[in-house]
Amino acid sequence: MKLNEEITRNIKTLTPAALETLKAIADRIFPRTDTPGAVEIGAINYIEIALAGDYAALMPLYREGLRAIERYAHKRFGARFVALTGEQQDEILGEFEAGNVASYKNAGEFFETVRYHVLEGIFCEPQYGGNDGMLGWRLVNFPGQQFGYDDPYIDKRVNLEPVAVDYRKSEGK
């Protein structure tokens, strides 16, 4: 089990079906290619932690939005969102992104919120439950929270291993 999955194993913000839909959406927003995708990097774990805490006020938007995605998938293609092809999923998400879903007036807001949270989960400080193993940072060669840089790194591409903040060290002082 990955570190961030251990953090979220007792958090139950979404039903298993809604979580499955959210994972499928995240896979379309930031898919796995020759590098890890949003789910592998821990974006879903980050979103669950956030919805159980600081983003709790967004739970109604998530619940309504995920149900709306499923209803729209059934209406358009006669199947659950997770059972659709990638092209069909992209078509549905494109309609949501554009706000062109007459049966759900908050489609654009929902899509933009999820997209933003997926990206937060990929590139956040790992202590918040995403960016597992600093994989998101490694994808873009971000060195993390380095204390400082030696002169050879000033104004040059940094080739240091990423470092995350470890608040446990500062608490012991």
**In sequence order, what DSSP letters do the residues of 69-97 get, joined into one string?**
HHHHHHHHHSS-GGGS-HHHHHHHHHHHH
The residue with tokens 């974006």 is: 43
| Highest mean predicted confidence (pLDDT) among 119-123, 142-146, 154-158, 168-172 | 119-123
Cβ count within 10 A of residue 37: 19
Query: Does this model's pTM top 0.85?
Result: no
Q: pLDDT tens-digit profile of 13-52?
A: 899 999 999 999 999 999 999 999 999 999 999 999 999 9
Kindly list the domain boundaries of the chain, sorted by start residue.
3-142
At residue 145, the pLDDT reads 73
- Measure the CA–CA gap between 170 and 148, rounded to whole angstroms: 17
Mean pLDDT (the chain, rounded)? 88
At residue 1, the pLDDT reads 42
Task: Give the rounded percent of residues in the chain with a pLDDT score beyond 90.
Answer: 73
At residue 133, the pLDDT reads 93
**143 touches 137 (CB < 8 A):** yes
Per-residue pLDDT for 110 more than 70?
A: yes
Instruction: Quote the crossing angle between the two packed helices 16-29 and 43-52, to the nearest 10°.
Output: 130
Per-residue pLDDT for 169 more than 80?
A: no
